[in-house]
Amino acid sequence: MKTASIRDLRHDTTTVLGWVEAGEKVLIERRGRPVAVLSRPAKRGRIARPDFAARLKSIYGEQVMSVTATELLAGERGDR
């Protein structure tokens, strides 16, 4: 783990961030005492999204509704 002071971080940010981009963890110190650790964020995978079309098909099958959702909402709202 590399070490940098607050002054190094302020005046030579590019170098410190270069270490982080290279995969190093950097300990930031103020007056010789550790105050923070900089590191690369963990890689995230793609978020698995639900298959809404399959869910609707499992609920309603091939059934076609006689009234659309827009018509239902317009009826509920009345004359706004």
Of 23, 25, 22, 21, which is closest to residue 4 (Cα–Cα)? 25
Instruction: Tell me the average pLDDT across 49-62.
Output: 90
pLDDT (0 to 100) of residue 80:
65
Report the C-alpha gap between 21 and 42 in whole angstroms: 12
CATH 3.40.1620.10 is right for the domain spanning 2-38? yes
pLDDT attached to residue 69: 86
Tell me the C-alpha distance between 67 and 75, whole Å: 11
Q: What is the pLDDT of residues 5-44, one digit of tens each?
A: 999 999 999 999 999 999 999 999 999 999 999 999 888 8
* Cα gap 37→28, rounded to integer Å: 6
pTM recorded for the entire structure: 0.53
Residue 42 and residue 49: Cα distance in Å, rounded? 20
Q: Where do the structural domains in the chain lie, given as residue ranges?
A: 2-38
How far is Cα of residue 43 from the mean position of the Cα atoms in its chain? 11
